[in-house]
Structure 1
Amino acid sequence: MLTGLPLTGHVRNRVGSQPVSCRERPRPIVPENRKRYSSSMKTHAITAAITAFLLTCGALAQGVGKLFNITGGTSNSIAKFHHIDIPKGGEQLLGEFRGAGKVTYFYMTDESAGKWYPGLMLKIYWDGQKFPSIHMPVADFFGAIGGRAVPYRSEAMVINHACFMSHLPMPYGNGARFVLENDGDRDYSIRIAYGIDVEQDNSSATEKSRLHGEWRRSNPVKDGLHTLMETRGRGHYIGGFLQVVVRNHGVWFGEGDLLCHVDGRSYVHSPGTEDEYGSCWASPSWPAYDAPLSGHPLNENGVNRMYRWYVHNPVRFRENLKVEIQNQHVNGTPATEGPDDYTSVAFWYQEGASKVVAPQPFPDRQRPSFEEKK
């Protein structure tokens, strides 16, 4: 269960900490083998569904088990449903909180019924800073990359029909501001609904941890590596979303390793993208799934969307962290059919509010996959 993910003095380490470019294992299933593996895939799908159900029950049991605990805090909320007008280049304040506290829940929807305007940006500021520590398209914040919503249920985020929900705790020490910005090519005029729940107590005033969120796109990937996030300071990485659009729909993209560069040392976190996001021996015909801590809710016509939450095993760092993922179609080699299009949303906690990399301008974010930049 997400309970705040406090910063600690621990540092992550793993067996076999040197990055590797290849691994010995059978080649992934390819489309020609679909019939031969159909029964096996069904078995995997059923097993995954049962596992997801059991994990969800466990998480709910932990949460219910703590409901009796009465704290000295008070609750507050901003909840609105109204028409909103944001001209091109304009901004609109969603909510502002003073003093110290912790955001415990944030949801949004508009009457597009899940077809978000891609020019709508979310910026979240902590402690009176002039720069946002979370800066990305609002749809992508919830995992609807590019404004396309695909339902899924995870412990940290949920998309259910047209309701977009975040359960990530967001502490602040001296105020918080949630802002919508329109950096697109038209005015944004529509009815929206949203809510921001906060808790305020004495412990929030001394909590140093701040949530950060960063959006990046490599269209296409350069030199076989896509950077998910990079920062300096002390904190821990908790995961996020990854969408991969492949050039050849029949080619499996998921052989690239996740690389963590922590405080001057590097290691491989999982030997393959498919392993990192909770699936193994996958293929272009692999069925979509969602679970509390990992999922692959979209695998359609070469578009793959995944998420992973390190709730129980965050990647901790004391000085700096850079997380990258390889674009590989075959173990140990760069993309054999040409590099693919990677878009990622990364979240981490860090001491103090820091400035994140700003998303690419609207025209670049909207540029079709593999189209040359003009």
Structure 2
Amino acid sequence: MHSSFGLDSLATVSDARSRSITAENPDGEVGAGGQAASDLGPGRKGRPCLSDVPSGATETLAEIDGPGSIDHIWFTLPDRTDAGEHVLRDVVVRMYWDGEDDPSVEVPIGDFFCNGHARRTTVNSMPVVAAPHGGLNCYWPMPFRESARITIENQHPGPLPALFYQIDYSLVDELSDDTAYFHAQWRRENPTTTGEDYTIVDGIEGQGHYAGTYLAWTALEGDWWGEGEFKAYIDGDDELPTICGTGAEDYVGGAWCFDAGDGPETYSTPFLGYPLYDDGSDGHGGPPKHGLYRWHVPDPIRFKEDLRVTIQQIGHDGRSLFERSDDIASVAYWYQKEPHAAFPALPAPEKRRPR
């Protein structure tokens, strides 16, 4: 398989076969796209999306026989309906590789694309791009040997008026023995426990590498919130981790509270960013909200046996550090050889709603 991030691969001819699944070609069949008719006639944008997906319904968007690799996924959907404002937390994306019963990806659709807090945010990174106005893209390579299945579940209280999607993939003759599988898991602690590190992911067993973190952080106390250290416990680490950072803004490549003198400054770069800052002054009475990401693409955290990843909640009041409690949701992204350990149960929609 070629690298999904390197332009150098474009100059190499490949025997891989390009395919794409949309509502216009739901099976990705050869020469079968765009058949549905509209008022303009046959093949003139007759079925660009799924319409009126019922509340409680699970739609299978892709079932693909391997070997192959998903190269790009694009979604767009309303971020609110007449039934509520939290569509991006209420709709859940799941992905299954090689016929597995338990998903390797289980994440609310907004958080998967770094649009946490159920709100649209522009993101310009290498593996994840959220383009105006609500175009959700990912370029995480997702190889599979036998099969791939992608579903969405509508846990919103009302129907989804429209769900647009495109899943671009390549079919190949074989994958190398060292190919690992993509995984992503969502967690939330609301509120966090004072003095205890927040767990981004735990229970990863096997061999692989950690590829990235997205944090949707709601500050429930005053003063600076991001002094906590990122930690990665690798291959049997117990009380102390092998990798320990220096602060939340440092982990995503920033510094000094993101403050240029007149308040936090947002940014979005290929591998790290702070794309969302909401000071809570929008009149709705909500606390300050932050969105942060760090992609370990050039610097993956490799493990052979197990991995646990955490971050602390420590603040600074201008004079000294203090333990604090906030509302944190996260997505962990990693690659490993299957099988993977079972994920914790995904919280119910009402437990996922942002403050």
TM over 0.5: yes
Give the Cα–Cα distance (whole angstroms) in 2 for the partners of residues 189 and 258 of structure 1.
Answer: 37
**2-side partners of 1:207 and 1:96: how far apart?**
24
Report the residue type matching 2:15 in the other structure.
G
Q: Which runs of 5+ in 2 are unaligned?
A: 24-47, 280-287
CA distance in 1, matches of 2:233, 2:160: 43
Structure 2 residue 172 is matched with structure 1 residue 172: no
**Selected match of 2:233 from 261, 275, 288:** 261
> Match of 1:146, SS?
coil
Aligned match for 1:279, one of 248, 254, 259: 254
Which of the residues 99, 105, 116 maps onto 2:66?
99
| 1:212 and 2:183 correspond | yes
Distance 1:199 1:170 in 2: 10
Matches within 5 A, 1:270-349: 270-283=245-258, 285-301=263-279, 302-330=288-316, 333-335=321-323, 338-349=324-335
Q: State which of 344, 358, 363 in structure 1 corresponds to 2:345.
A: 358
CA displacement, residues 35-91 of structure 1 (integer Å, 9 cap, x when unaligned): xxxxxxxxxxxxxxxxxxxxxxxx7xx51x331111221111102322333333321
Query: Whose relative contact order is higher, 1 or 2, with alpha carbons under 8 Å and at least 6 apart?
Result: 1
Equivalent AA in structure 2 for residue 79 of structure 1:
T
Q: 1:299 to 1:189 in 2, by over 3 A?
A: closer
Deviation at 1:188, TM superposition (A): 2.1
- TM-superposed CA distance for 1:353, in Å, is 4.4
Alignment partners' CA distance in 2, 1:306 and 1:198: 28
CA contact (8 A) 1:224 1:328 kept: no
Measured in 2, the distance between the counterparts of 1:182 and 1:151 equals 23
Q: Paired residue for 1:11?
A: none
Question: Shift of the alpha carbon at 1:366?
Answer: 1.5
Letter in 2 for 1:180: I
User: C-alpha distance in 2, partners of 1:127/1:159?
Assistant: 29
Separation of aligned partners in 2, 1:107 and 1:113: 19
Which residue of 48, 51, 54 maps to 1:87? 54
Aligned pair in 2 of structure 1 residues 158, 113: CA closer, same or farther (>3 Å)? Answer: farther
Change (3 A) 1:359 1:224: same
Matched residue SS, 2:192 = coil
Single out whichever of 234-243 and 261-270 deviates more from structure 2: 261-270
Hey, which of these two has a bigger chunk of helix by percent?
A: 1
Kept in 2: contact 1:85–1:187 (CA 8 A): no
CA distance in 2, matches of 1:78, 1:176: 12
SS of the aligned residue for 1:66 comes to: helix
- What is the alpha-carbon distance in structure 2 between the residues aligned to residue 206 and residue 97 of structure 1? 20
Counterpart for residue 110 of structure 2: 139
Partner residue, 2:17: 74
Q: Distance in 1 between matches of 2:301 and 2:227?
A: 21
Cα pair 1:215 1:358 within 8 Å, conserved: no
Deviations 1:296-330 (A, max 9, x none): 01122121110000111101000000000000003
Aligned to 1:152: 123
Distance 1:92 1:105 in 2: 19
Contact 2:53–2:161 under 8 Å retained in 1: no
Deviations 1:115-139 (A, max 9, x none): 7613111111110111111001111
Structure 1 unpaired stretches of 5+: 5-58, 369-374
Q: How does 1:41-60 map to 2 (within 5 A)?
A: none
Instruction: After TM superposition, give the deviation of residue 360 of structure 1 in Å.
Output: 1.1
Instruction: Indicate conservation of the 8 Å contact 1:209/1:351, yes or no.
Output: yes
* 1:216-227 alignment runs, 5 A limit: 216-222=187-193, 223-227=195-199
Query: How many angstroms apart in 2 are the aligned matches of 1:193 and 1:181?
Result: 14
Provide the aligned length of Structure 1 versus Structure 2.
306
Evaluate the alpha carbon distance shift between residue 356 and residue 84 of structure 1 in structure 2; reply closer, same or farther with a 3 A threshold: farther
On the 8 A contact 1:219/1:340 being kept in 2, the answer is yes
Distance 1:181 1:205, change over 3 A: farther
SS in 2 for 1:147: coil
Letter in 1 for 2:347: Q
Deviations 1:277-313 (A, max 9, x none): 1101125622111111100011221211100001111
CA distance in 1, matches of 2:13, 2:351: 49
Q: What is aligned with 1:237?
A: 210
Assess if the C-alpha contact under 8 Å between 1:256 and 1:271 holds in 2: yes
**Same amino acid, percent of matched pairs:** 28
SS in 2 for 1:203: coil
Q: Partners in 2 of 1:79 and 1:116 — Cα distance?
A: 25
Amino acid at match of 1:150: T
TM superposition shift of 1:260: 0.8
Q: Is the 8 A contact 1:241 1:346 kept in 2?
A: yes
Distance in 1 separating the partners of 2:178 and 2:172: 11
* Structure 1 Cα separation of the partners of residues 71 and 186 of structure 2: 22
C-alpha change, 1:129 and 1:205, in structure 2 (3 Å) is farther
